[in-house]
Chains A and B, each alone.
Chain A
Amino acid sequence: MKKGNQFHFLNWLGVFLVFHFGFHFLHKNWLMKQNQQAEKELNFNGLSSKPKVWFMGDSHPLLAIDPEQIPESFNWASRSENYILCYYKIKYLLERGHKPTIIFLPAEIHSLSSQGKSLIVNHELDDSWWANKISPFEADAAANGSDFRRWWLAANFASHAGQFYHLKFLAAQPQLGLTKLGFMPDSTDFSQNENAKEIINEKVKSHVGKFKLVDSLQIKYLNKTIQLLKESGIKLVLVKYPVSKPYFEAISERINPKLVDQEFVRLKDKVKILDFRNLYFGRPELFSDPDHLNQKGAEEFSQMFKEFSGI
């Protein structure tokens, strides 16, 4: 490149990078400043006495566990939080000096699905909080690929890439709807929904449609979590949260839930498993959608959970 032209090109590159990183910081620190993870961390840090019972995982515990009903507990769960994310979140919190006595993780039909990895590397979750929590090299080594490095680069240096729909947050920040202890109450009564059948079918399709039901990467991370907690002297319990009967029947028509359950059974010597999957069969009024409890269901379930588990 000729000297004068090189200067010209570098000028262009400089201007481009200023705008690019400007958008990156705008997206990461302003548009996405309000997210479930950050909110939960803020709330947890604000508690004078740190809870020792942690509920982690995806939307099932998020909507089913009301920590107000369970002493000394905190709901760390967030939507689509799979075992990969749980592992890094636990690791991060332990490194910050927090130490629970017991952690509850979900053991759902889709908990081991390859969708978990897909959601992360395709930037469908909230990258801004996870960007510096996940170790891309460790995750790539476990997955035998390079997807996590690509994800990490984008999350840390171009968080706005492909996220044009977040621009709507310029008008109004999203309502997170979380309580101080991390619970997300939902008052919807799914039994009143006229399109229940279609919604159930869509839900089943999204859970088991195009993804591998048992992903070895999720199993690896579940085992890593078990090991980490064992070394830290923390008890781990897996929980099968309640789902509605029509949902379970619809999903059973497509796949055999035992295929997933047998993967959890293999861990029975290492962790305790609590099965509440069919607890509310015939109680459709307790659900906000096919497989999540509503506020009423969560209150009843949390109360029952406290008594059953003896916390």
Chain B
Amino acid sequence: MISSLFFYGYWKPEYLILLTLTSTIDYFSALYIQKSESRRARKIGLLASIVSNLSILILFKYSHFLASNLNLAGWLNETPAWLNLVLPVGISFYTFQAMAYVIDVYRKRLPAEKSFSRFLLFITFFPQLVAGPIERAPHLMVQLTRLKAATSEKIIPALWLICMGLWKKVFIADRLGVFVDGVFNNIPESNGIQCLLAIFFFGIQIYCDFSGYSDIARGIARFFGVNLMLNFNNPYLATSLTDFWRRWHISLSGWFRDYVYHPLGGGRNGYSRTFVNILIVFLLSGIWHGANWTFLMWGLWHGLGLVLERVFGMVKNRAIPYRLATLFWIFAGWTFFRINSIYDLDLFLQKIQEFDWSGFQQFNLFRSNWEFLLAALGIVSLLMIEKYQTLRFRWYSRLSQNQRMAWITTMFLMLIWLGKFKGQDFIYFQF
């Protein structure tokens, strides 16, 4: 726990106070809920936790956005300077994890944790503190109560996970990021083909960046004998948009399903109510990612996609053309996610419409042909990594432990030579 607090506090010690404060409120709220017998008192305990968590989240993450929009609408003279707060890293992740815990105690799905230090470790467990997966108490808390010594059988897969995660991040994501940033940060000077490629590359980049982080977090946690949940399960192999959301950022999708969608009535109250519930969930999911209209549009895009999928009865359609259409929808949606502001969207779409092929040779955004080749190799290697995770290479399973160690060592050493180390943070750190 102390290591986890040091890990978080190293960045900005003052935000440790915030993290400890919300954790303390959640800890006592859960104990109060468990101790209370009246429904009213239990609700008060729950509300105390939710209001405190959401207030802090709104203050740090959304207040500036709200104020600047009120300002634009003419309802506020100016955006107060004190609202320019630095967003605490991982606030959306640990807030949701803590809220899930208190709601589960309220629903009597688990007993409140008596040990404050164990509860604090559950919230601050460093591998997953800043970018998830958003763990549930029944899964993680139990493991934290019986931390096991890592055996060599566990160390090798743990190292392999870390290696694959780093490969996705520094070999693929950061390399593609150079091209993607070059286009999205300079749309006026980019052409149509570059804009299209940037969307495609961003789709790969964000997957490698985020799932790479999850792999590293899971690998590090295994050193302590902890199994974190799987956060990505080959999302781009999804058969439908519904299937995609069962495979992409599984811990967040599950959170919204259990704590928002189902309480709203889920799909039990007729079509129109279901559609409204889906749209609410995805608008919330969009805004969870960041205080910007672009994220709201991204959420709306996916919400609409899911509604259309149900209207046309395509949820269980496994035909290849529909899979491709799903992929198209997902990748098109990344435009909203990545674009810097909605004001850039018009120009970006205009560039794509112009479809200027003359710039096809202009891969110079990669800086060199080598970088372009490595990016292409990265995408191919990604397919192999995905294949390994689902099917397992037969040759790898035949290797002895020492041979596996040698293989992992080679991969790490290669990664250091070939990675892109430009000090780029993980994309999801900003959420």
Contacts and interface: CB of A to CB of B under 8 A. Distances in A.
B409 A16 contact: yes
Interface stretch (A158-166, A231-239, A288-296): A158-166
A162 B414 CA distance: 10
A interface secondary structure, majority? helix
A171 B29 CA distance: 67
B413 A2 contact: no
A2 B149 contact: yes
Contacts of A4: 152
Interface string B143-179: 0000001111001000100000000001000000000
Given A16-B412, A19-B409, A5 B150 contact: yes
Contacts of A163: 417
A243 B368 CA distance: 27
B171 to A, nearest CB: 10
Interface string A132-152: 000000000000000100110
A162 B409 contact: no
B219 interface: no
A209 interface: yes
B421 interface: yes
A158 B415 CA distance: 12
B186 A165 contact: no
Contacts of B405: 12
A12 B419 contact: no
Contacts of B368: 165
Contact of A16 (B152, B155, B413): B413
Interface residues of A, number: 30
A147 B189 CA distance: 29
B interface secondary structure, majority? helix
Interface residues of B, number: 26
Given A150-B423, A210-B185, A160 B416 contact: yes
B409 A23 contact: no
A12 B158 CA distance: 13
B416 A158 contact: yes
A210 B150 contact: no
A247 B14 CA distance: 49
Contacts of B409: 12, 15-16, 19
B417 A9 contact: no
Interface in B108-131: none
Interface in B182-239: 185-186, 189, 223
Given A12-B405, A15-B409, A23 B416 contact: yes
Interface in A216-260: none
B406 to A, nearest CB: 8
Contacts of B150: 1-2, 5
Contacts of B419: 161-162
16 contacts: A1-B149, A1-B150, A1-B223, A2-B149, A2-B151, A4-B152, A20-B413, A123-B421, A160-B417, A161-B416, A161-B421, A162-B170, A162-B416, A162-B417, A162-B422, A167-B417
Interface of B: 149-152, 155, 159, 170, 185-186, 189, 223, 368, 370, 401, 405, 409, 412-413, 416-423
The 7 A-B residue pairs whose C-beta atoms are closest, nearest first, are: A5-B152, A162-B421, A164-B417, A8-B152, A122-B422, A2-B149, A161-B421
Given A12-B409, A164-B370, A167-B417, 14 more contacts: A1-B223, A4-B152, A5-B149, A12-B159, A23-B413, A23-B417, A154-B421, A158-B416, A160-B416, A160-B417, A161-B416, A162-B416, A162-B419, A209-B189
Interface of A: 1-2, 4-5, 8-9, 12, 15-16, 19-20, 23, 121-123, 147, 150-151, 154, 158, 160-165, 167, 205, 209-210
